[in-house]
Structure 1
């Protein structure tokens, strides 16, 4: 039997060394290593035949209390006096077992740490929710959804919040839903506005559908993808002729403020629904709340959204004031809604994403919050992967197609910036809205020389269409090169051939304008939908000189060539009467 003399002092010295870990660790780290340290100290005390409660001689009382060791190893005073020299390994085991035992299943955890949009959740077992699973907790009277992003060890998972974390505190219960974020899909979503988690935000009650789908999905396999290149006719002359869209392709829409981008998007939604009977999904990523509100009410005025009847579009908004987690996932929510219409209903769906740059920007914020080392220009190291995972889901299958129109913001007009550069790699065509053309009063203000498409190939669109488009572009390019001469010397200094080129080019330029159905309430001009054969024929007739006897104004805001001829004859008749 050991006495309380020299030998026990030596053992106390050994325990002092073992407790240095606690003394050197910050208090914030106590919960993560207390379990392992107790086990270690019990082992030491067992081999030294020393009671573990003697730890109070090695540790200050505040360290014992804050680290949780005091509760685990402190026996009663009476028991300590009776068994002062007896090994206390069993006492420690029972205490630690009681401390860490839990009747909760693996689906429940507690909030362990809150750092802005990042929330750590600690579980009592090693059965943790998988990466990308959704957890739910209550923040006041609001449901807060968390998405698992990392496993940190010690049964702690790091999550990204899909809403604000103001008011959230440690200890709140978090429940694993067992699935990724699931959002409502189907025809019931048409005419409704939802957020990233599928909750309606239009104050019209819940979305009445039992159909739900995960926002995370794999791209369609090669065996299900359609390999045929097919043009998606929009009914907009300038697009269909010079930069045709691919069915199931990706279109980049470049435009500044006030050049008609919103109206252009609305007309595409309206025309696709009319011409193809398909549906559209509008996804606002980092959208200004005011712009989203204006778009919603404009769609009601133009009957794209009919509150009493059938609507043609579903809206998914992650506004600019949302945390980065919501802005990084809202594009996937909109894509999931569109995928249902493609895969289940066999529709040709139009998906609008405004702005795809903000999707990348939100991903960069999330990456920084997770502690990843940034790559070029501060973007996330997984930039290409994040973009590719989403873009590859936008494709044509044997069942239907998703055609996406993505607004792209170019930081500092630098096309080599990693954000737009990663987007360009996926685009099939680009539509550029020019402020200079909008200042001429020509709408849509599409720049016919800057807009490009991979579909402009004779093997895809046919030789006749290709020849007509290239001749139109050539004529407009010649007119552009002659504008400096005209501005300095005037039209009289041009040759007769150049004068004829300028006259026809100005008529072609005006003929590229078109009245939109969604703008009829503002312009008073009935919108027109021009099919592709009429578009090609009309431009061929203008370049062949059939409209040489008609005034330029006859070609402004009309549909096909016959409409321009009728308008021109009416203008000439009015001029004759006035004379």
Structure 2
């Protein structure tokens, strides 16, 4: 296991956050508003004219309360409240925001960088690099909210994905282009199994992988980053002139210290990057999600903040819709495939939990 004390933490916040240039959607009207109230991760914004669409990204300036450095805070529109007011969910800390502060509508949903430039890098939910290795070398961005491939575009496969882990390949083989869940309670080895899968598959197939770290421990994310470099899955930018060329895996982290908005969207950011490799480059991509339960948990927190009536066991009433939207996009098409392996934490080892 990598000694995380001796090495510089990989997932440290950048001193200055620069939001990726969110492309304005064709025909959209870019509006400017001002903050009306801040309630934790929820920010209400008042617009004088045109209201931004649901799921649009809004930008406002904030200051890191620890370092004093300015950064761009991204808000995602969740509800229209009437009287020219929209309710948004913040993708980062809201400490330091003030009423009356200007907010700009980007005209589109959150955009994440895509392409070979993201391989070997660690990004946050809005695609900003958090590995202190400089800006991401790409000019291409994709919205994190997209429609699933149509029925005509999809294809199926019965090919077996050889993982190199004997017990999996013998007893429970994985299907190439399918979805597999690693169920288990706390501390049983879901993340360790996933680390081994990434290592084996990257070496055996030489393909691209995307890891979405959703609401898990920052220490595990740091360990995984350094282990990927040690096993030559990724290239260390500090020893390669700042370049990560030759890397095989992109990492997108929204760990357990992040606000619920970031944890609820980081899986979509990783998926958007995997979709690019599938659709534009025709690759067979591996998408690892650790942990998909935290995606559900973050959605539950967001739902409570937005005042929705909870469903069974306190989960959000939109649980099935949100999970369905994510899982339907993870599929194989005629151009390429996404094979997804998702760790699933079982709360209190209760397999009857929704």
- Same-fold call, TM cutoff 0.5: yes
Q: How does 1:27-106 map to 2 (within 5 A)?
A: none
Aligned to 2:307: 371
Shift of 1:259: 5.0
Q: Provide the secondary structure at the position in 2 that maps to 1:295.
A: helix
In the alignment, is residue 359 of structure 1 matched against residue 288 of structure 2?
no
Q: 1:269 aligns with which of 194, 198, 213?
A: 198
In structure 1, how many angstroms separate the alpha carbons of the residues matched to 2:258 and 2:309? 24
The 3 A distance-change label for structure 1 pair 183 and 106 is: closer
> Do 1:106 and 1:123's aligned partners in 2 also have CA atoms closer than 8 Å?
no
> Do 1:185 and 1:340's aligned partners in 2 also have CA atoms closer than 8 Å?
yes
Q: Which has the higher contact order (CA 8 A, sep 6+)?
A: 2
Q: 1:237 aligns with which of 166, 171, 185?
A: 166
In the alignment, is residue 334 of structure 1 matched against residue 258 of structure 2?
no
Shift of 1:290: 1.2
In the alignment, is residue 284 of structure 1 matched against residue 207 of structure 2?
no
- Scaled by the length of structure 2, the TM-score of the pair is 0.85
**Structure with the larger strand share:** 2
In structure 2, how many angstroms separate the alpha carbons of the residues matched to 1:193 and 1:411? 28
In the alignment, is residue 396 of structure 1 matched against residue 325 of structure 2?
no
The 3 A distance-change label for structure 1 pair 106 and 399 is: closer
In the alignment, is residue 109 of structure 1 matched against residue 33 of structure 2?
yes
In the alignment, is residue 412 of structure 1 matched against residue 348 of structure 2?
yes
Shift of 1:255: 4.2
Q: Provide the secondary structure at the position in 1 that maps to 2:112.
A: strand
Aligned to 1:101: none
Q: How does 1:126-137 map to 2 (within 5 A)?
A: 127-137=50-60
Q: 1:320 aligns with which of 251, 256, 267?
A: 256
Aligned to 2:279: 343
The 3 A distance-change label for structure 1 pair 321 and 290 is: same
Query: Where does the alignment leave 5 or more consecutive residues of structure 1 unmatched?
Result: 1-104, 419-579
Shift of 1:260: 4.6
Larger Cα Rg: Structure 1 or Structure 2? 1
In structure 2, how many angstroms separate the alpha carbons of the residues matched to 1:273 and 1:291? 19
> Do 1:106 and 1:124's aligned partners in 2 also have CA atoms closer than 8 Å?
no
In the alignment, is residue 161 of structure 1 matched against residue 97 of structure 2?
no
In the alignment, is residue 220 of structure 1 matched against residue 144 of structure 2?
no
Shift of 1:249: 1.2
Q: Provide the secondary structure at the position in 1 that maps to 2:335.
A: coil
Q: How does 1:437-456 map to 2 (within 5 A)?
A: none
Bigger mean CA offset, 240-249 vs 128-137? 240-249
> Do 2:157 and 2:176's aligned partners in 1 also have CA atoms closer than 8 Å?
no
In structure 1, how many angstroms separate the alpha carbons of the residues matched to 2:46 and 2:105? 12
In structure 2, how many angstroms separate the alpha carbons of the residues matched to 1:398 and 1:145? 35
The 3 A distance-change label for structure 1 pair 296 and 228 is: closer
In structure 2, how many angstroms separate the alpha carbons of the residues matched to 1:371 and 1:116? 13
Q: 2:127 aligns with which of 194, 198, 211?
A: 198
In structure 1, how many angstroms separate the alpha carbons of the residues matched to 2:184 and 2:48? 52
> Do 2:57 and 2:107's aligned partners in 1 also have CA atoms closer than 8 Å?
yes
- Scaled by the length of structure 1, the TM-score of the pair is 0.53
> Do 2:52 and 2:77's aligned partners in 1 also have CA atoms closer than 8 Å?
yes
Pairwise CA RMSD: 1.5
Q: Provide the secondary structure at the position in 2 that maps to 1:132.
A: coil
In structure 1, how many angstroms separate the alpha carbons of the residues matched to 2:305 and 2:158? 42
Aligned to 1:182: 111
Deviation digits for residues 413-453 of structure 1 (CA, Å, limit 9, x no counterpart): 111111xxxxxxxxxxxxxxxxxxxxxxxxxxxxxxxxxxx
Bigger mean CA offset, 355-364 vs 404-413? 404-413
Shift of 1:410: 0.8
Deviation digits for residues 517-549 of structure 1 (CA, Å, limit 9, x no counterpart): xxxxxxxxxxxxxxxxxxxxxxxxxxxxxxxxx
In structure 2, how many angstroms separate the alpha carbons of the residues matched to 1:260 and 1:285? 16
Shift of 1:206: 0.7
Aligned to 2:233: 304
In structure 2, how many angstroms separate the alpha carbons of the residues matched to 1:385 and 1:189? 29
Query: Where does the alignment leave 5 or more consecutive residues of structure 2 unmatched?
Result: 1-28, 64-69
> Do 1:283 and 1:354's aligned partners in 2 also have CA atoms closer than 8 Å?
yes
Q: Provide the secondary structure at the position in 2 that maps to 1:224.
A: coil
Shift of 1:392: 0.7
In structure 2, how many angstroms separate the alpha carbons of the residues matched to 1:263 and 1:290? 13
In structure 1, how many angstroms separate the alpha carbons of the residues matched to 2:160 and 2:207? 15
In structure 1, how many angstroms separate the alpha carbons of the residues matched to 2:113 and 2:340? 20
> Do 2:125 and 2:252's aligned partners in 1 also have CA atoms closer than 8 Å?
yes
